[in-house]
Structure 1
Amino acid sequence: MTETEPRGLQGRVSGQPALRTKAGIPAGVVFIAFTLMTTITWAQEIQDDWSSGWSDAVESESAAVGGEHGDSSAFAGTAAALYGYVETIGVTQFPSGDSPAVGSSTRARLKGEWHPEERITARVEMLYEQQLGIANGLVGLNSAGINPQPEIQAENQQDDFTQSFTVDHVYAIVNLDRVDVSLGRMPIAWGVGYVFNPTDRVNTAGSLQGSEEETPGTGAVSLAFHFPFAWSLESYLAFEPGGTGGAALVEMSQADNLPFGVRLRGNVLGFDLSLSALRGVWYSGEAGGYDISVDPAVAAEKWEVDYRLGADAIGNIGPLGAYVEAALALPQTGNEIDFGATRDSAYSLERALDTVVGLEYITRNDVSFKVEYAHLGGGAAHKDSYDPSRVLSGRAITMGRDYLFLYASGIVAEFWELTFGTLGNLRDGSVVLTHEVIYDIRDNMELTASATVPFGKRGSEYDGRVSALDGVDLYATEVNLGVRVSF
């Protein structure tokens, strides 16, 4: 997965694909192993002379300075670059049986990259967001039939619930001969899947609506050791467990509650291949770590952990691009690895394995077709078992177990880009359709129009009215019109 996501299917809902609490691996072993490992793929992009040409799981957006977000050619050959974009989107939703709901979302991202010397790179990305009306998460939850505790706003009148300004990325990459060291708040994106990434155990899950493209920053340290024979050993240690929502929790200071990943990457028979070991962490306790419904408030922290073995590969089979990604959850008792738990009927390969398989074909006219199948062992096998909290919290993008994604994109009449996508739940038959049209007014200005249309039988996932939440409709048809100016 690159830092730039498919715009129609990944985006706004918050959360992270990782779980964890107290692990069976001593902290000292984790840190020693970590220091022997390696960085995230985008560190290789900065050192092009070491790059093996992989672009599948690499953080490519910031390496391709400017790219679709602006023309930085003016900085070519200099030690710095400054670029970004401003985007405003008008949002209209059509809830079942209700009047249309409207809103707007404005996003501005300013990106800076500096090279104080040949072997050092520093990057900063600042993000401003304003979400009004139905585009605001709190309003959207209320429209769906979920009361988002309005007293939060009443009791925190000093806060602004419509806009925010954050420094999303701020990190440095240092090249020490065959070792790259990256540290700070950085994007971490592992995996080659287009919609689903089983080996990504750090980032917030996407959503079916929204327009976020960049991978959010995570406070971390990463290392990469590049072997002479075009293989590399890479790792990260993240200091932000999933689900914490910006809270400063006491148990975040414990090494057992920190996500990490280690992988070996190389090329076999023309396929870029990686093998990985991962620990994910998810906080599912009370907001801020305390239960404030009692007086005095009591500590209420809850941490979940999972350990996984992962693998992915990407390459070409004749005229087709092909990729596969998988992550196998190891058997656990509580938050500790326990291979004896395989005797438990609750553990099975079907539930433990997440797998993504995809094919891509690009015509001579640069029309791209993709198909992706995903089996998500942690999802529900039947609609009566759907858990909406996984999507609402950002822990997962879907609730079910088996999905098929179809995608087509191409340029028409030079200035028009058309994109069509379909994501179907293979178990309950529900489907969500996405469509986007982009028109280039100028080199650095574009108009966009997009639509998301979910439908299915009552009680199905994309009907939205699941049995677990009576009176709630999670999904609504949405139409967006936007303007983006890049610089």
Structure 2
Amino acid sequence: MRFSGRYFLVLIFSIALNSFAQSNFEYGGYAKYLFGTSKIPQLTERTYDHIFHSRLNTKYFLVDAFSLTAEFRFRSFSGSSVEKIPDYASLIKTKQPLFDLDWTIWNTNKSIGYAEVDRLYLDYNANQFQVTLGRQRIAWGTSWVWNPTDLFNPLSILDFDYEEYPGTDAFRIQYYTGAVSKIEFALATTREKDKLTAAALLSHNAFDYDFNFLAGVKNNLWIAGFSWAGDIADAGFRGEITFQQKPKKLIEYENLYLTYNLLPLSYKNQAQISFVLSGDYTFPNSLYIQTEILYNNIGTKDYAGLFIQEAAELGLLSPSRFLIFQEFSYNISPLSRISVFGILNPDDNSIVIVPSLSYSVITNLDLYVVALIFEGNNLTQYGNYGNSVYTRIKYSF
């Protein structure tokens, strides 16, 4: 069953037009242009692509305790990828959790226009209670790179051009027991009957640390977790761990792996454990270092590139057993910053290296240059993506 989001969009635009001149209406956003060139193994020639991206964020205060948030993004794609990659429109489409709030404006051999509403929620906030209903982002993690406790909206650090990250269609209630402590419950469902996620979170601050305890159901399997965030000698120290009921067998992957004499991840007869340990430190001269480690007990040591889709269906952040992240950043000047980070799979020795440079040209106008360099043998975790370089100019309002 599919749900249309057109009526929601008409409602939001009506409210925006009627309220634009009033003080209880807020708006902002940005417009940006991204140029990218890539050399990937699937294509013989280098690709050259152009993406124009605009975003509008709106918030309307209905009464003192109620507000309505709607955020829109529009992107147009043109260049080699549109022309040479079959069904490219399906690759750029954002997965719609429950309601259809996206539209392909045009789709030709030369370009594609795609619009979506990635935030649309009603928020009630009074006294210690906050209730939110609609498409929203629920971020429960404490680490910077991998968040196994983010049951609703796990992110990818390699998706550098989507700062807001996707949301989910959910009901969420929060009760604040103190300035930095709360009890929270969230429920999200999708069109797929086996993809229900419902969980409760308890947050508490003690010994200058934030501690979080969670329990619930994800993909109709029980899950429990714990996370913390604090510091040791002025260095950030964070971690997350989740325990999940052993996954259901995904039969559709069995034949795929027979060629390589491999056992699907879902066939491992054990509970699923994911663990992240993270630390970071900023020196007085602005040099910033960060290290993070991810461990999956049912992850694979070999042919991790084969298991990416299966791992995603199981709720794993990676198909591999171990991943190691390392970052170094430094402020060249008050207006510019250089950074490089790498993610290594120590079992198959594949790696991605991401150097970048950001520069504030003038107020509200920023330049960003980034490269994604993937290295590894065929079918390793990072061995089949090639190399890409992107340049982005962004104006915020």
Alpha-carbon offset, residue 227 of structure 1: 1.9
Q: Could you report, residue by residue, the CA deviation over 1:349-384 in whole angstroms, capped at 9, with x for unpaired residues?
A: 6xx210000001011233321100000234323227
**Aligned pair count?**
345
Q: Does 1:266 align with 2:204?
A: yes
Q: Which of 381, 394, 411 pairs up with 2:331? A: 411
Q: Say whether the 8 Å CA contact 2:139–2:150 is kept in structure 1.
A: yes
Residue 367 to residue 115, structure 1, CA distance change in 2 (3 Å): farther
Name 1:478's counterpart in structure 2. Answer: 388
Q: Does 1:121 align with 2:43?
A: no
- Distance between the aligned counterparts of 1:380 and 1:141, measured in 2? 30
- Distance between the aligned counterparts of 1:235 and 1:93, measured in 2? 43
SS across alignment from 2:107 = coil
Residue 395 to residue 133, structure 1, CA distance change in 2 (3 Å): farther
Q: Which of 18, 22, 35 pairs up with 1:90? A: 35
Q: Could you report, residue by residue, the CA deviation over 1:263-313 in whole angstroms, capped at 9, with x for unpaired residues?
A: 1001121110100013223xxxxxxxxxxxxxxxxxxxxxxx332101110
Name 1:379's counterpart in structure 2. Answer: 299
| TM-score in terms of structure 2 length | 0.77
Q: Say whether the 8 Å CA contact 2:247–2:314 is kept in structure 1.
A: no
Alpha-carbon offset, residue 463 of structure 1: 1.7
Q: Which of 189, 194, 197 pairs up with 2:147? A: 197
| TM-score in terms of structure 1 length | 0.64
Q: Say whether the 8 Å CA contact 1:434–1:452 is kept in structure 2.
A: yes
- Distance between the aligned counterparts of 2:207 and 2:288, measured in 1? 25
Residue 210 to residue 231, structure 1, CA distance change in 2 (3 Å): closer
Alpha-carbon offset, residue 141 of structure 1: 7.1
- Distance between the aligned counterparts of 2:180 and 2:312, measured in 1? 42
SS across alignment from 1:203 = coil
Report 1:264-303 matches (<5 A): 264-281=202-219
Structure having the larger proportion of residues in strand: 2
Alpha-carbon offset, residue 257 of structure 1: 4.7
Name 2:238's counterpart in structure 1. Answer: 323
Q: Which of 355, 377, 392 pairs up with 1:435? A: 355
Residue 384 to residue 419, structure 1, CA distance change in 2 (3 Å): closer
Alpha-carbon offset, residue 223 of structure 1: 0.3
Q: Aligned letter for 1:181?
A: V
Q: Say whether the 8 Å CA contact 1:224–1:233 is kept in structure 2.
A: yes
Q: Say whether the 8 Å CA contact 2:302–2:380 is kept in structure 1.
A: no
Alpha-carbon offset, residue 450 of structure 1: 0.8
Q: Does 1:357 align with 2:302?
A: no
Q: Could you report, residue by residue, the CA deviation over 1:199-252 in whole angstroms, capped at 9, with x for unpaired residues?
A: 122236537355111121211110011225853110111133xxxxxxxx4x65
- Unmatched segments (≥5 aa) in structure 1: 1-74, 149-156, 241-248, 282-304, 336-344, 465-474
- Distance between the aligned counterparts of 2:28 and 2:81, measured in 1? 26
SS across alignment from 2:224 = strand
Q: Does 1:180 align with 2:180?
A: no
- Distance between the aligned counterparts of 1:332 and 1:404, measured in 2? 25
- Distance between the aligned counterparts of 1:324 and 1:115, measured in 2? 37
Q: Could you report, residue by residue, the CA deviation over 1:327-358 in whole angstroms, capped at 9, with x for unpaired residues?
A: 111246679xxxxxxxxx94346xx2100000
The one of the two structures with greater contact order (alpha-carbon pairs below 8 A, sep at least 6) is 1
Q: Which of 305, 309, 314 pairs up with 2:224? A: 309
Q: Which moved more, 1:313-322 or 1:213-222?
A: 213-222
Residue 193 to residue 168, structure 1, CA distance change in 2 (3 Å): same
- Distance between the aligned counterparts of 2:284 and 2:206, measured in 1? 28
Identity across matched positions, percent: 20
Residue 267 to residue 228, structure 1, CA distance change in 2 (3 Å): closer
Q: Does 1:450 align with 2:338?
A: no
Name 1:239's counterpart in structure 2. Answer: 189
Q: Aligned letter for 1:405?
A: F
Q: Aligned letter for 1:273?
A: F
- Distance between the aligned counterparts of 2:225 and 2:59, measured in 1? 32
Q: Aligned letter for 1:100?
A: R
Q: Does 1:461 align with 2:391?
A: no
- Unmatched segments (≥5 aa) in structure 2: 1-19, 92-103, 251-266
Q: Aligned letter for 1:483?
A: I
- Distance between the aligned counterparts of 2:150 and 2:297, measured in 1? 15
